[in-house]
């Protein structure tokens, strides 16, 4: 029987050592793959962020400046009176008067 107990003890030691080594190898591989997976995730996240920046819509354009206010009817009447005086004085010809009148009246 001593040989049988010795054989069983040897088998137990070998099995225990194999289990310990296997567990250590498994832990190392898990750490290695975990760091690799973390790096892959970080790379993908960075690529995604860069893509979002490139696809972001441009900022809205500044609103156009307000249009110049159209001259009031009173301003138009005053301008036409001044043109008529210039024409009566002979400073403007009939064609020049008609052209300026059309500008004032918007047509």
Residue 101 · residue 81 · CB < 8 Å: no
What is the Cα–Cα distance from 49 to 39, expressed in whole angstroms? 15
29-62 b/e (C-beta count within 10 Å ≥ 16 → b): eeeeeeeeeeeeeeeeeeeeeeeeeeeeeeeeee
Q: What is the pLDDT along the chain (107 residues), one digit of tens a residue?
A: 667 777 777 777 777 777 877 778 788 888 888 888 888 888 999 988 888 877 767 667 777 666 555 557 778 888 889 889 989 998 889 998 899 888 888 75
- Global pTM value: 0.34
């Amino acid at each position: 029987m001593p040989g049988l107990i010795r054989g069983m003890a040897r088998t137990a030691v070998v099995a225990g050592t194999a289990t310990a080594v296997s567990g250590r190898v498994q832990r190392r591989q898990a750490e290695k793959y975990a760091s690799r997976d973390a790096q892959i995730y970080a790379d993908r996240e960075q690529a995604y962020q860069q893509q979002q920046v490139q696809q972001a819509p441009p900022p809205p354009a500044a609103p156009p400046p307000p249009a110049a206010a159209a001259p009031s009817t009173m301003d138009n009447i005053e301008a036409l009176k001044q043109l008529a005086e210039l024409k009566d004085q002979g400073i403007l010809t009939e064609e020049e008067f008609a052209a300026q009148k059309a500008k004032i009246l918007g047509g």
